[in-house]
């Protein structure tokens, strides 16, 4: 496979012939090609446009659709899948990647896309038909077609300054696949090139995250408004009063922090200015910020900018003025928000959220915070952290409606930070072409060894409407989004729960090695061992139960014999080691599985309700036979996790009585789930993403 970011090697550029065809149509005042022009265009792509009377297809031959579409979010996207009537069916009727596949043109090549297309039912039907007839597989014809289409797409993509026009869509449907490809019907539309936004000076994000000085506008001297809460949170999180400045005329100090009359009276340029005024006051204030050049970064807290019909036009004009400022010397200030909850930066020693600290305690749960959470919704981050404090990111940033800084900007910044390993992202939508910047940043981050977990809302019509009312984003099609973002290398979550699971497991297992996809499953509960085995398949990837080596079987039999369980347990994978097994039995068998070369990862049910397991915070029946005992899982498991490079997932399936056991393990870096199906499914998804990311890095190394 070629490097997906490189130009298609060996592809004859169709630029010269296509340029004349598009020029002819444009001169006639059209934005679509005629059938004759389509025939000429396809001929230049070595494709045949069939006559008005379609040739009779082979029996059982599927109709195929191959398309280039200039999407609002991701620019040029290549897609392929079912054609004809089948293409009109809802893709949700199929498992993922079975009806159609999609890839951003800038992140794929012909070989890469062919492998993606092989997942579809359309390809599998073509392959089966070729086998039945004894014909060659259709790979060569398809690869050549994809290669030429990708070359055309790059020639007429948004942002290509050399192109006089921009391709909007080229849809070939249906296509008959045989010794050659015959296009029975096609359409092609084009338009004028568009001007992209200027690049933001993202190096200034460092000033946003680690400000040496912070100013606040909107602090009330007499009431506890949002600005005053933010001021209290800044001081309560450890930011010193001496580095704070309040911009408020007529006041000398508030809560011991000095005040100044205006931005013009500042003694020095601020690293960060937090704006917590009414939305109506933001427009003039932003102009003042730009004109005075008094600030490096700005946090816009106010909501409703661009979120209501009345505000969209002035908000768009505001975004244009901010964008124009980036053309100035130094790039002008960067803006986070609007409709922005704020930032929590542990290294920067500040919390600017307008949620009182008492409502969201944020205890440190990791020895070293190695993750970042980015979200268009501040409430999304609050609820995630409140329910799962072990996520505990190093930085949490609410991006709001992305008036200026985008998810792609943040990803580009954080993928250069060696201390960051995992980035979790909640997306509601993108502005024009920001999705392309985002997936390019995802690929860049993955190639640098980062893990990117993404959840996108607005998958239904009502959900999309809610997104528009929240951060003025436009949510694109969920199938397109997931396919393109996953192909870029991200781990895409389906819902809030899977986001929590995948973000957590990515942070917990980042340093472990994924040698293969053979799983070992251990539990003292029969249903749990079976449940693990039943959960090893995702939509596009599956693990398998590893076959234990004879030496491993013998070692486990010896452990069972010592524990007097050998007559009750048959050694196999998955293994039910009986409710009579104690902590040592569980963990000794776990390590025996880990040392087996046929096992790549282990899920172990820690059976907290079993009478022999030391799982209670305090046992009244057997004092001392609890998690404080040196022979408890809480003490025995962390060293096993530390000395083995294979992933281990522990399952503590029990109620509140076992919260202390689970928390004590998680505090020590053990990956723990409270349900075997969730834990196993998360591990399968995680292993799939890690193996794909490794294939991308190997591909880059070869090229």
Task: Report the C-alpha gap between 494 and 456 in whole angstroms.
Answer: 8
Q: Which residues contact 257 (CB under 8 A, 6 or more apart)?
A: 231, 235, 241, 244, 245, 246
DSSP per-residue string spanning 519-531:
EEEEESSHHHHHH
In the chain, % of residues over pLDDT 90: 74
Tokens standing for residue 595: 């040392």
Q: Which residues pair with 172 in a beta bridge?
A: 66, 186
Q: Which helix (H) or strand (E) holds 549?
A: none
Helix extents (H) in 253-377 = 279-292, 309-325
Q: What confidence score (pLDDT) does residue 592 get?
A: 98
Tokens standing for residue 580: 């009579």
Task: Report the C-alpha gap between 297 and 235 in whole angstroms.
Answer: 20
- CA 50 to each of CA 17, 130, 172, 342, 550: distance values in angstroms, whole numbers, following the listed order: 20, 22, 11, 58, 62
Rounded to the nearest integer, the mean pLDDT of the chain is 90
DSSP3 helix / strand / coil % (the chain, rounded to 5): 40, 20, 40
With beta carbons less than 8 A apart as the criterion, state whether 650 and 678 touch: no
| Residue 476 pLDDT grade (very low, low, confident, very high; cuts 50, 70, 90) | very low
Class of domain 15-191: alpha beta
Q: What confidence score (pLDDT) does residue 179 get?
A: 79
Q: What confidence score (pLDDT) does residue 368 get?
A: 76
- Of 355-359, 418-422, 435-439, the one with minimum mean pLDDT is 355-359
Check whether 431 has a pLDDT greater than 90.
no
DSSP E strand stretches across 457-593: 491-493, 518-523, 544-545, 575-576
* Closest residue by Cα to residue 78 from 131, 8, 135, 12: 8
| Range 407-431 average pLDDT | 95
Model confidence pLDDT, tens digit, residues 489-542: 999 999 999 999 999 999 999 999 999 999 999 998 888 988 898 999 887 789
Query: For the whole model, what pTM was predicted?
Result: 0.91
With beta carbons less than 8 A apart as the criterion, state whether 140 and 114 touch: no
The DSSP 8-state label assigned to residue 623 in this structure reads T
Check whether 623 has a pLDDT greater than 60.
yes
- CA 30 to each of CA 36, 563, 593, 654: distance values in angstroms, whole numbers, following the listed order: 14, 82, 67, 67
List where CATH 3.30.470.20 sits in the chain.
Answer: 15-191
Q: What confidence score (pLDDT) does residue 12 get?
A: 43
Task: Report the C-alpha gap between 118 and 447 in whole angstroms.
Answer: 24
| Residue 473 pLDDT grade (very low, low, confident, very high; cuts 50, 70, 90) | very low
The DSSP 8-state label assigned to residue 702 in this structure reads H
CA angle in degrees (0–180, nearest 5) for 517-521-523: 165
List where CATH 3.40.50.261 sits in the chain.
Answer: 202-508, 512-693
Q: What confidence score (pLDDT) does residue 86 get?
A: 78
- CA 409 to each of CA 353, 413, 444, 499, 637: distance values in angstroms, whole numbers, following the listed order: 21, 6, 12, 21, 40
Check whether 662 has a pLDDT greater than 50.
yes
Q: What confidence score (pLDDT) does residue 610 get?
A: 94
| Residue 656 pLDDT grade (very low, low, confident, very high; cuts 50, 70, 90) | very high
Model confidence pLDDT, tens digit, residues 123-176: 999 999 999 988 899 999 999 999 999 999 999 998 788 888 999 999 999 999
Task: Report the C-alpha gap between 37 and 549 in whole angstroms.
Answer: 65
Q: What confidence score (pLDDT) does residue 307 get?
A: 74
With beta carbons less than 8 A apart as the criterion, state whether 214 and 296 touch: no
Region of 332 please: left (phi>0), alpha (psi -120 to 50) or beta: left
Helix extents (H) in 304-377 = 309-325
With beta carbons less than 8 A apart as the criterion, state whether 140 and 146 touch: no
Per-range mean pLDDT, top range of 363-367, 379-383, 671-675: 671-675
Model confidence pLDDT, tens digit, residues 46-83: 999 986 555 555 667 788 999 999 999 999 999 999 98
Enter the CATH code of domain 512-693: 3.40.50.261
| Range 610-626 average pLDDT | 94
Model confidence pLDDT, tens digit, residues 192-246: 988 878 899 999 999 999 999 999 999 999 999 999 999 999 998 899 999 999 9
φ, ψ at 259 (rounded to 5°):
-115, 150
* Closest residue by Cα to residue 191 from 165, 169, 164, 153: 165
Pairing of strands 100-104, 75-82: antiparallel
φ, ψ at 276 (rounded to 5°):
-125, 45
| Range 443-470 average pLDDT | 73
Q: What confidence score (pLDDT) does residue 471 get?
A: 43
Q: Which helix (H) or strand (E) holds 557?
A: helix 550-562
CATH architecture of 202-508: 3-Layer(aba) Sandwich (3.40)
């Amino acid at each position: 496979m070629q490097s997906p970011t490189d130009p298609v090697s060996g592809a004859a550029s169709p630029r010269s012939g296509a340029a004349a065809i598009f020029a002819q149509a444009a001169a006639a005042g059209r934005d679509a090609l005629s059938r004759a022009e389509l025939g000429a265009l396809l001929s230049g792509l070595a494709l045949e446009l069939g006559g008005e009377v379609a040739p009779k297809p082979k029996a059982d031959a599927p109709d195929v659709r191959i398309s280039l579409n200039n999407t609002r979010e991701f620019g040029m996207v290549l897609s392929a899948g079912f054609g004809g009537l089948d293409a009109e069916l809802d893709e949700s009727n199929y498992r993922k990647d079975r009806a159609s596949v999609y890839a951003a043109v800038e992140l794929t090549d012909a070989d890469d896309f062919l492998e993606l297309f092989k997942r579809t039912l359309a390809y599998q039907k073509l392959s089966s038909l070729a086998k039945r007839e004894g014909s060659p597989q259709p790979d060569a014809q398809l690869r050549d077609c994809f290669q030429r289409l990708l070359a055309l797409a790059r020639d007429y993509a948004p942002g290509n300054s050399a192109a006089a026009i921009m391709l909007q869509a080229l849809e070939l449907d249906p296509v008959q696949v045989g010794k050659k490809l015959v296009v029975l019907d096609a359409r092609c539309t084009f338009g004028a090139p568009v001007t992209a936004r200027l690049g933001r000076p993202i190096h200034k994000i460092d000033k946003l995250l680690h400000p040496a000085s912070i100013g606040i506008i909107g602090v009330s001297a007499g009431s506890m408004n949002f600005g005053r809460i933010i001021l209290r949170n800044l001081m309560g999180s450890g930011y010193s009063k001496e580095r704070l400045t309040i911009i408020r005329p007529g006041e000398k100090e508030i809560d011991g922090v000095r005040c100044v009359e205006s931005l013009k009276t500042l003694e020095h340029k601020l690293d960060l200015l937090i704006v917590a005024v009414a939305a109506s006051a933001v427009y003039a204030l932003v102009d003042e910020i730009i004109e005075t050049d008094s600030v490096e970064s700005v946090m816009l807290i106010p909501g409703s900018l661009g979120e209501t019909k009345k505000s969209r036009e002035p908000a768009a004009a505001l975004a244009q003025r901010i964008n124009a400022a980036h053309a100035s010397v130094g790039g002008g200030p960067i803006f986070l928000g609007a409709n922005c909850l704020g930032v929590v930066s542990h290294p920067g020693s500040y919390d600017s959220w307008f949620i009182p600290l008492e409502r969201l305690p944020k205890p440190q749960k990791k020895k070293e915070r190695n993750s970042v959470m980015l979200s268009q919704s501040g409430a999304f981050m609050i609820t995630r952290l409140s329910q799962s404090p072990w996520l505990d990111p190093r930085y949490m940033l609410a991006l709001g409606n992305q008036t200026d800084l985008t998810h792609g900007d943040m990803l580009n910044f954080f993928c250069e930070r060696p201390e960051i390993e995992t980035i979790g992202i909640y997306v509601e939508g993108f502005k024009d072409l920001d999705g392309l910047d985002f997936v390019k940043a995802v690929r860049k981050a993955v190639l640098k060894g980062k893990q990117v977990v993404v959840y996108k809302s607005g998958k239904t019509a009502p959900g999309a409407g809610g997104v528009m009312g929240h951060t003025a984003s436009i949510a694109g099609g969920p199938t397109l989004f997931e396919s393109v973002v996953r192909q870029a290398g991200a781990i895409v979550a389906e819902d809030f729960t899977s986001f929590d699971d995948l973000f957590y497991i990515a942070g917990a297992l980042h340093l472990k090695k994924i040698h293969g996809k053979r799983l070992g499953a251990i539990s003292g509960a029969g249903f749990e061992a079976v449940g693990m085995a039943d959960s090893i398949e995702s939509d596009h990837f599956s693990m398998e139960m590893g076959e234990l080596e004879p030496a491993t079987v013998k070692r486990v039999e010896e452990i069972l014999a010592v524990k007097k369980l050998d007559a009750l347990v048959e050694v196999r994978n998955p293994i039910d080691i009986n409710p009579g097994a104690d902590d040592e039995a569980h963990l000794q068998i776990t390590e025996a599985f880990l040392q087996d070369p046929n096992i790549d990862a282990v899920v172990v049910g820690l059976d907290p309700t079993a009478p022999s397991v030391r799982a209670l915070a305090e046992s009244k029946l057997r004092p001392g036979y609890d998690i404080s005992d040196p022979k408890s899982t809480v003490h025995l498991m962390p060293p096993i996790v530390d000395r083995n490079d294979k992933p281990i997932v522990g399952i503590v399936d029990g109620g509140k009585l076992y919260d202390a056991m689970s928390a004590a393990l998680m505090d020590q870096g053990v990956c723990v789930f409270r349900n075997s199906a969730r834990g196993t499914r998360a591990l399968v998804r995680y292993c799939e993403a890690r193996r794909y990311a490794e294939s991308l890095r190997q591909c880059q190394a070869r090229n």
